[in-house]
């Protein structure tokens, strides 16, 4: 049995933050599409598609920034623990 030290810390799940940001971006794009007055040059679908791309990317970027900030904050709360490494062997059969 070997003894050693390991740093224990929590970290955010980046994919969840990115997806949450994208969902917020989709909702914002939908709200902006509905609230702006109708345009004769572009259909509602075209306006929504453009805003969806723009707001989706901005939302995902903001989600990533929030995840990175959480990661920095949680990294400061890391601590070292004593660990034991054991190796288990099983009979092959």
In a domain, 91, yes or no: no
How many Å apart are CA 73 and CA 78, to the nearest integer?
9
In a domain, 92, yes or no: no
In a domain, 90, yes or no: no
Please state the rounded mean pLDDT for residues 68-91.
Answer: 86
Domain hosting residue 43, numbered range: 2-85
In a domain, 60, yes or no: yes
Q: Residue 14 has what pLDDT?
A: 93
In a domain, 34, yes or no: yes
Please state the rounded mean pLDDT for residues 80-91.
Answer: 85
Report the SS3 class of residue 88: coil
Burial 34-49, CB ≥16 within 10 A → b, else e: eeeeeeeeeeeeebbe
Domain count, the chain: 1
In a domain, 21, yes or no: yes
Between these two residues, 86 and 66, which has the higher pLDDT value? 66
Tell whether the model's pLDDT for residue 93 goes beyond 60: no
In a domain, 93, yes or no: no
Backbone angles phi, psi at 68, to 5 degrees: -65, -40
How many Å apart are CA 32 and CA 4, to the nearest integer?
56
Task: Look at residues 59, 74, 73 and name the one whose alpha carbon lies nearest to residue 17.
Answer: 59
The string of pLDDT tens digits covering residues 13-66 is 999 999 999 999 999 999 999 998 888 898 999 999 999 999 999 999 999 999
């Amino acid at each position: 049995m070997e003894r050693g030290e390991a740093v224990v810390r929590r970290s955010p799940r980046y994919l969840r933050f990115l997806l949450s940001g994208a969902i917020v971006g989709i909702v914002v794009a939908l709200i902006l599409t509905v609230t702006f007055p109708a345009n004769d040059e572009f259909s509602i679908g075209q306006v929504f598609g453009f805003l969806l791309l723009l707001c989706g990317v901005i939302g995902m970027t903001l989600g990533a920034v929030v995840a990175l900030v959480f990661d920095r904050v949680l990294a400061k709360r890391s601590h070292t623990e004593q660990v034991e490494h054991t190796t288990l062997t099983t009979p092959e059969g």
